[in-house]
Structure 1
Amino acid sequence: MPFDVDGPVTTVAVSDVRGGHSPRQGGESLEHVQTLADTIGELPPIIVRRDDMRVVDGMHRLRAARLRGDERIAARYFEGGDEEAFVLAVRTNVTHGLPLSLTDRKAAAARIIASHTHWSDRMIATVAGLSAATVARIRRSRPESAPEVRLGNDGKLRPVNGLERRRVARAILMTEPDLSLREVARRAGISPETARSVRRKLAEAGPAPSPDPAALVMRLRSDPTLRFSETGRALLRLLEARSVSPEKWAAIAANVPPHWRDTVARMAIECSDAWRGFAETLLAPGNTKAG
């Protein structure tokens, strides 16, 4: 876990230590301060940031030391920025001392999501003492855009939506089966090994049965997000041509006048290229936003 403090314990003057950015929204508990002040012997070391002597962890102990009239207090130094100090403050207050309230932990998770967007839900959950599902809900409620990858507890970077990227790779391989694994991986934003796994599963599954185009268009027409928008209706009209049966296409081709066949063929190829470009746009990584 980042931001561990492994330095030696030293003592610092109580008067030199300043308050920090506590994750406790309601401030310190006076009752807990009094309990610590009544404790016999030295208090456990606090953590202070070396640059400005602000408390990272141990405000209750600092206030107890002042209440007791102590001139010095045991401490460990931390070196890092404000957000790193906050993460450490949250983690240490979750694992020992007076526990953070659920409200404090959720607020802390929201701040960490904003400052460490690339961290995985599970990693933030470990820091904040929450479940990964709770962190995911907090993340979804925030307006910030999601990163392409997130850092996990094991230190590895992974795509935010691995299943979506596998789906993109599958679509690429279905349309261009002879494409190299390296190129598939590049287009889909996955590793070549993952691309190899997708190709192997495609081979094991065998050819999928062709869906009924007319039935698919009918299903699309039942979706109000398409039916009640101008662009949706335009798409449905374009797809109706795709729902023509092979037999009807053959009949249409047979009735194209000979002197127009080359022109119509070129137009059909241009339409095919346009549809392929449209398909690639739909399947591009990150193009998953709903309207």
Structure 2
Amino acid sequence: MQLDQAEIDRGPVVRVPVDALTVAGSPRLAGEDPEHVETLAASEEELPPIIVHRGTMRVVDGFHRLRAARLRGQETIAVRFFDGGEADAFVLAVRSNVTHGLPLSLADRKRAAERIIVWHAEWSDRRVASVTGIAPRTVAEIRRRLAGGAGPEGIRIGQDGRVRPIDGSAGRRVAGDLLTENPALSLRQVARVAGISPETVRDVRNRLALGLDPVPQRRRDRAAQNRTADAEGAQAVPAIGLNRAAGRGRRGPAPDRAALVARLKADPALRFTETGRNLLRLLTVHALPAEEWEALSGNVPPHCSAIVADLARQFAGIWNDFAVRVEADIAKIS
């Protein structure tokens, strides 16, 4: 299920007795922060509506606000209802507490990732990371040591809802065979059959022209290492939350955004045009290591976190639209 925060925010607001609500299942391992509760209670402003799972009357987002309302002596509180399943309600709770309010601790986010992986083993590491606010490589490490975290064999569902293979090597080989048999096929035609992107097909075509294997050596090595690590992780932990240090297998090298940006900076087609230099500047800003992103998200002042989160979502939407346009241009060329 795709959780649309904007749609929830547009839902009707109703007053609900505070005693009718439950706070079980909070993603915060240590519970609510008493100091933050007191700060909210001392404020003279009306507390923003909280989100409640209608089927269980469990608070999804707004644990601190509910505590503050009780501390104020309020009998009712403003509520927007969420009608999804309980697993979706937990995902929404995590996402909400990562993007606004008092941020979840790193330990909370890792624990939340464990639960989401067990419930949604088919989700890609990046999709789980986008919900929990931790790095995709950290999600991958958590997945490897969880029984039941592997998901459907060979596939993952990404943030856009599309199903993709975990290892693109098979798609590259299919593309290589197609291009060898019929070099006149367009990138888009081959991409559709092989289940990979047109740009990946372009890379396969270039490699074939140079007499190289369609699958780069580093990808073959990474696939072999990941298969070994997954096998070790599957045998290491019988259930979630037990023996957390066990089952951490070897892992192949993760994609390095900084290295990719550095390679683009060396491309004359980008370096020697104004638009190219503008693009490189933007990409450089976003190529921070995952640890720095986590440090940034963990230190946003609570009073401006909602604005920062909203801007981040807007910028993410702009980048997504940009990616769609770039891919559309690639398809036209092919």
Q: Report the TM-score when normalising by structure 2.
A: 0.54
Q: Are residues 1:76 and 2:80 paired?
A: yes
Deviation at 1:198, TM superposition (A): 7.7
Structure 2 alignment gaps of length 5 or more? 214-222, 232-334
Flag the 1:193–1:44 CA change in 2: closer, same or farther, 3 A.
closer
Give CA-to-partner distance per residue, 1:94-135, whole Å, 9 cap, x none: 111111111001111111111112222222111111122222
- Corresponding residue of 1:215: none
Flag the 1:177–1:57 CA change in 2: closer, same or farther, 3 A.
same
Q: Are residues 1:33 and 2:34 paired?
A: no
Aligned residues: 211
Please give the alpha-carbon distance, in whole angstroms, between the structure 1 residues aligned to 2:208 and 2:19: 71
Flag the 1:12–1:192 CA change in 2: closer, same or farther, 3 A.
closer
Give the CA RMSD over aligned residues.
3.6
Amino acid corresponding to residue 205 of structure 1 in structure 2: L
Please give the alpha-carbon distance, in whole angstroms, between the structure 1 residues aligned to 2:176 and 2:167: 16
Deviation at 1:191, TM superposition (A): 6.0
Deviation at 1:43, TM superposition (A): 0.8
- Corresponding residue of 1:133: 137
- Corresponding residue of 1:66: 70
Q: In structure 1, which of residues 101, 105, 118 is the aligned counterpart of residue 105 of structure 2? A: 101
- Corresponding residue of 1:11: 15
Amino acid corresponding to residue 19 of structure 1 in structure 2: V
Q: Is the 8 A contact 1:3 1:84 kept in 2?
A: no
Q: Are residues 1:150 and 2:156 paired?
A: yes
- Corresponding residue of 1:214: none
Counterparts of 1:279-290 in structure 2, within 5 Å, are: 289-290=227-228
- Corresponding residue of 1:254: none
Q: Is the 8 A contact 1:150 1:158 kept in 2?
A: yes
Structure 1 alignment gaps of length 5 or more? 209-284
Please give the alpha-carbon distance, in whole angstroms, between the structure 2 residues aligned to 1:93 and 1:192: 34
- Bigger relative contact order (CA 8 A; separation at least 6): 2
SS of equivalent residue, structure 1 residue 48: strand
- Corresponding residue of 1:240: none
Tell me which structure has the larger Cα radius of gyration.
1
Give CA-to-partner distance per residue, 1:143-168, whole Å, 9 cap, x none: 33343322222332221111x21354
Amino acid corresponding to residue 158 of structure 1 in structure 2: R
Deviation at 1:47, TM superposition (A): 0.4
Please give the alpha-carbon distance, in whole angstroms, between the structure 1 residues aligned to 2:44 and 2:130: 33
Q: Is the 8 A contact 1:165 1:190 kept in 2?
A: no
Q: Is the 8 A contact 1:169 1:195 kept in 2?
A: no
Deviation at 1:195, TM superposition (A): 9.8
Flag the 1:207–1:3 CA change in 2: closer, same or farther, 3 A.
closer
Please give the alpha-carbon distance, in whole angstroms, between the structure 1 residues aligned to 2:150 and 2:139: 15
Flag the 1:199–1:61 CA change in 2: closer, same or farther, 3 A.
closer
Amino acid corresponding to residue 77 of structure 2 in structure 1: I
Flag the 1:160–1:39 CA change in 2: closer, same or farther, 3 A.
same
Amino acid corresponding to residue 139 of structure 1 in structure 2: R
Q: Is the 8 A contact 2:176 2:204 kept in 1?
A: no
Deviation at 1:93, TM superposition (A): 0.6
Amino acid corresponding to residue 83 of structure 1 in structure 2: A
Of residues 196-205 and 3-12 in structure 1, the stretch that sits farther from structure 2 once superposed is 196-205
Please give the alpha-carbon distance, in whole angstroms, between the structure 1 residues aligned to 2:20 and 2:174: 58
Give CA-to-partner distance per residue, 1:43-92, whole Å, 9 cap, x none: 11110011221111111111111111101111111011111011000011
Q: Is the 8 A contact 1:46 1:76 kept in 2?
A: yes
